[in-house]
Structure 1
Amino acid sequence: MTIAVAYRPDDYGRAAVLWAAAKAEANKEKLVLITVSEIDPEFDEPEEIDLSEFTERFDLEGIEYEVRRAASLSVSDVVIDQAVDSGADRLVIGIRKRTPVGKMLMGRVTQMILLDAPMPVIAVKP
C-alpha cells in the first residue's frame, strides 16, 4: 500500500508529512511526497523545495519513499494526478485552523482535493 502526502513548506505541510511518515513506518508502506509550485511552468522556474529534513530521516528509519515535484497553476489537479499515478490508496494534506467564516469557505486547493480525489483524504493540522 502507498500513502501520498501533499507537502508545502510550512507548519501545515510538515504536520502532514510527519503524520503520513508515522503511518507508513508503522504499516511498512511506501510514502510518496508530492510538492507543487503554483506557477505557470511555461514562464517561471519552479521553486526547489528542500525536503532533506524528511528524506534523511526516511533513509535512516528505512521508510520507502518517492519524491514527485511539479509546477502548475492547478495545484489540486496535480496533487490528485500524482497521487493516482503513484498508486496511493490514501492522500494526506495539511490544513490550518479556520475562523467560523473560514470554516464555511475552505481554501481553494484544500476544497478541490477533498471533493475531487478518488481516494480517501486525511486532513492533518499541527
Structure 2
Amino acid sequence: MAQIDTVLADLMRVWLLGPDGWTMPVCEIAAKVGHSYRYIWEPVSGGEGFGFTGELLENEPPHRAVTTETMIGADFPASLNELTLTPVDGGTLLSLVITDAAQRDAILATGMTSGMETSYQRLESILAVSFTA
C-alpha cells in the first residue's frame, strides 16, 4: 500500500499545482479512514506558500470521500468536506461540498478557484494523453 500512496502522491504533485509557477513539496495522502493528510504548495520564485491538513473520515473509492480540512496557519475552524465523483457522458462530475460557510467564503475570496480550475485542466490533459496512448 505504501508504494501506491507514493505513486498517487507523485501524480498529485504533477497536476495539483494551481497556476503555473507553483510546486507541491509536501503531499502526504490519507490512505485509510482515520489517517491524516497534509498538502503544502510553494511558489517557484520564492515567497509565502500555503497548505491544508485534515483527516479522512469516510472513504468509498472511487466515488466518495469525507474529510476534515484546516488551512495551515489560518484562524478558521476545521471544515467538513464531502467529495463525490459521478460518471457522466464524456467524463466525471466532481462535487465538493464544504460545510463551514465562513471558511468556504474566505477560501473563495482568495482567488484559489482559478488555481483549482488550472489544476483540473492539467489533470484532464494528463488523462487524455494517458487513455489515448
In terms of fraction of residues, the more strand-rich structure is 2
Whichever of the two has the greater Rg, that structure is 2
How does the TM-score come out when normalised to structure 1?
Answer: 0.36
In terms of fraction of residues, the more helix-rich structure is 1
- Return the structure number with greater relative CO, CA threshold 8 A, min gap 6: 1
How does the TM-score come out when normalised to structure 2?
Answer: 0.35
